[in-house]
């Protein structure tokens, strides 16, 4: 698939492996540079995959993963080319793909330079599609050249694949939230996200492969081609209309679709994603795709499995021991934890009610995991499951039902003795009045596809801000000293924010 031009000069050494090729312009936009003279370029046939996404995007590696061809359903791409010049992807960069579960192809690219913009071609041409570009993470502990790490978080987003949900007031809700996010980005400097986190219920109702196509790949096409995707598993990823209580992924039951078949996982979520099990992008190896962690500059992110692993005591204990070790080994400035079932909610689910066992993980995560988060410096916890946005005060020590919540005991207080808002003069500080990094902001961000009201209009007493009526998603920005989190609605308006300084 490559054509070797006759004159191989010293410029040929300027491959994607060498920092000397680094694009001095840190922007993602192409500088439209012309190809280096006499460097052999890739000369394959570019295709437009039906699905294209980036996994395990770290400081020195990425997995480019795809399936299908929108233009020709018989020709599949078998390789990618990559480089720092969009108009001159060198032949030396061509990387063959491996075909993985359910016909996905993935190319594992290593030896990349940190904090550097790359361009790639699926199918391996010498010129990259302008949308097929990403920036590697900065080295562990550092910030990127633009001084800011931006995280986009969507929860329970996958309504577009369900005619049942994508109707009435929520018609087009998922696309509207996506567009609201882009509206806010465009109006505020245009900085794209560095990380894209999905909080589960990513594809309703049963997380089938086809539903993922509609609610993930057709919905976030451009973001997925340029930003690393980091998901967690929700109840709907296990089929059964979201009612599965199975502790085993083998018992995935697709009520509205066809199970992915052995030897692949029966669960489409696991066939689609290639998640780190061996600490490939930092963190302590988890040994399972069901939960994992990674570093991105000075941010450490942990994705836990509250849907499957949490439902067996043995697996839950193993996950708890792993996350404790992972947190103990992390030196990141900021730590974000995601899992689907929120410890505190009065949205479409109620954290005081186990719903016949379906919502038992709410209790187990709150009682067993929250104390670990608070003891080991976690800053933010994000969940979904309730189709609402609910954001807590700066909390510690509350593992009981809502009627045992005492602001004077469980929240950071302002100078007037009331729970601090996290805004303005009441911004939180990572080292609290107790002298420890002992508090966490817990957020339910499950209204990225539908907003389905509150079980208690007053909200959970742990929360500063609650709405069951507003669609939206979350943007978190961090530098070395300041973290700002915003809830952005489907019109691009900020409805809530808070700040933590360190
Ligand atoms: Fe949901
Ligand atoms: Fe859910």
Rounded CA separation 339/232 (Å): 6
Considering every ligand atom shown, identify the ligand nearest to the alpha carbon of residue 156 and give its number.
Answer: 1
Q: Which ligand is nearest to the CA of 342?
A: 2
The ligand minimizing its distance to the Cα of 339 is: 2
- Closest ligand to residue 450's CA: 1
d(CA 166, CA 170): 6
Distance in Å, CA 63 to ligand 2 centroid? 28
Ligand closest to 355 (CA) is 2
Distance from the alpha carbon of residue 295 to the mean position of ligand 1, in angstroms: 27
**Per-residue pLDDT, 144:** 98
Block means of pLDDT (10 residues each) for the chain, 502 residues, are 32 34 35 62 94 98 96 87 97 97 97 98 95 98 98 98 87 96 98 98 96 97 98 97 94 84 90 98 98 98 98 98 98 98 98 97 98 98 98 98 98 98 98 96 98 97 98 98 98 98 98
- What pLDDT was estimated at residue 2? 36
If one counts every other C-beta atom within 10 angstroms of the C-beta of residue 252, the result is 24
C-alpha of residue 366 to centroid of ligand 2, in Å: 16
pLDDT in tens, 40-85: 999 999 899 999 999 999 999 999 999 999 987 778 899 999 999 9
Q: Quick one: which of 489, 200, 463 has its CA closest to 346?
A: 463
CA of residue 201 to ligand 1 center, whole Å: 5
446: CA distance to ligand 1 center in Å?
Answer: 7
Phi and psi at 120, nearest 5°, equal -145, 160
Residue 80: its H or E element: strand 79-83
Find the 129 Cα to ligand 1 centroid distance in Å. Answer: 35
Q: How far apart are CA 115 and CA 477, in angstroms?
A: 17
pLDDT at 139: 98
- Predicted confidence (pLDDT) per residue in 425-481, tens digit: 999 999 999 999 999 999 999 999 999 999 999 999 999 999 999 999 999 999 999
* Spacing, Cα 241 to ligand 2 middle (Å): 10
Q: Which domains does the chain have, with CATH numbers?
A: 10-131 (2.60.40.10), 149-501 (3.60.21.10)
Q: CA 465, CA 455: separation in Å to the nearest integer?
A: 15
Can you give the pLDDT at residue 43?
Answer: 94
User: Ligand 2 centre from 142 Cα, in Å?
Assistant: 35
Question: β-strand 61-67 against 105-110: which pairing, if any?
Answer: antiparallel
Q: What are phi and psi of 360, to 5 degrees?
A: -55, -35
What's the token pair of residue 99?
């075909």
Q: For position 8, what pLDDT does the model report?
A: 29
Distance of CA 435 from the midpoint of ligand 1 (Å): 37
Q: Can you give the pLDDT at residue 214? A: 97
- CA 120, 125, 127, 129 torsion-angle sign: negative
Q: Tell me how far the alpha carbon of residue 434 lies from the centroid of ligand 1, in angstroms.
A: 36
Q: Measure 479 CA to ligand 1 centroid, in angstroms.
A: 31
C-alpha 136/C-alpha 144 separation (Å) is 9
DSSP state at residue 346:
B
Q: What are phi and psi of 68, to 5 degrees?
A: 80, 180
What pLDDT is recorded for position 168?
A: 80
CA of 392 to the centre of ligand 2 (A): 19
In this structure, are residues 468 and 388 in contact, taking their beta carbons and an 8 Å threshold? yes
Among the bound ligands, the one closest to the CA of 242: 2
């Amino acid at each position: 698939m490559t054509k070797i031009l006759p004159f191989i000069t010293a410029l040929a050494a300027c491959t994607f492996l060498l920092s000397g090729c680094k694009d001095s312009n840190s922007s993602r936009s192409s500088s439209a540079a012309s190809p280096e003279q006499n460097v052999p370029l890739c000369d394959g046939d570019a295709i437009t995959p039906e699905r294209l996404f980036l996994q395990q995007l770290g400081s020195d590696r990425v997995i480019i993963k795809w399936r299908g061809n929108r233009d020709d359903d018989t020709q599949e791409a078998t390789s990618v080319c990559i480089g720092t010049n969009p108009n001159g992807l060198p032949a030396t960069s061509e990387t063959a793909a491996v075909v993985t579960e359910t016909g996905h192809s993935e190319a594992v690219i290593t030896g990349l330079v940190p904090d550097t913009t790359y361009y790639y071609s699926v199918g391996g041409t010498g010129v990259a599609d302008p949308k097929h570009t990403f920036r590697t993470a900065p080295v562990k502990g550092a910030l990127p050249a633009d001084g800011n790490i931006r995280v986009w978080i969507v929860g329970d987003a996958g309504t577009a694949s369900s005619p049942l949900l994508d109707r009435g007031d929520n018609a087009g809700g998922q696309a509207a939230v996506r567009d609201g996010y882009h509206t806010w980005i465009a109006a505020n400097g245009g900085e794209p996200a560095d990380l894209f986190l999905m909080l589960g219920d990513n594809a309703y109702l049963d997380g089938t492969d086809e539903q993922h196509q509609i609610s993930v790949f057709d919905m976030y096409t451009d973001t997925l081609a340029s930003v690393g995707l980091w998901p967690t598993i929700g109840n709907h990823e296990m089929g059964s209309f979201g009612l599965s209580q199975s502790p085993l992924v083998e018992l995935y039951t697709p009520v509205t679709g066809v199970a992915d078949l052995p030897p692949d996982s029966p669960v489409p979520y696991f066939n689609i994603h290639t998640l780190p099990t061996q600490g490939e992008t930092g963190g302590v190896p988890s040994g399972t795709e069901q939960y994992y962690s990674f570093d991105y500059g000075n941010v450490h992110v942990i994705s836990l499995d509250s849907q499957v692993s949490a439902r067996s005591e043995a697996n839950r204990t193993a996950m708890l021991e792993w996350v404790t070790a992972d947190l103990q080994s992390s030196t990141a400035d900021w730590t974000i934890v995601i899992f689907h079932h929120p410890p505190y909610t009065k949205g479409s689910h109620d954290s005081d009610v186990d719903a016949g066992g379906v919502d038992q993980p709410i209790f187990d995560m709150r009682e067993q995991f929250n104390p670990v988060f608070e003891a080991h410096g976690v800053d933010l916890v994000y969940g979904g499951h309730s189709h609402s946005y609910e954001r807590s005060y700066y909390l510690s020590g509350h593992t009981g039902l809502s009627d045992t919540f005492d602001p004077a005991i469980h929240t950071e207080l302002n100078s007037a003795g009331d729970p601090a808002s996290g805004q303005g003069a009441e911004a939180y500080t990572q080292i609290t009045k107790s002298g420890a990094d002992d508090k966490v902001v817990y957020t339910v961000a499950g209204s990225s596809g539908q907003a389905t009201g509150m079980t208690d209009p007053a909200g959970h007493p742990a929360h500063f801000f609650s709405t069951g009526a507003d669609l939206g998603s979350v943007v978190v920005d961090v530098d070395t000293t300041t973290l700002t989190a915003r809830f952005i609605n489907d019109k691009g308006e900020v409805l809530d924010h808070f700040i933590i300084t360190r």
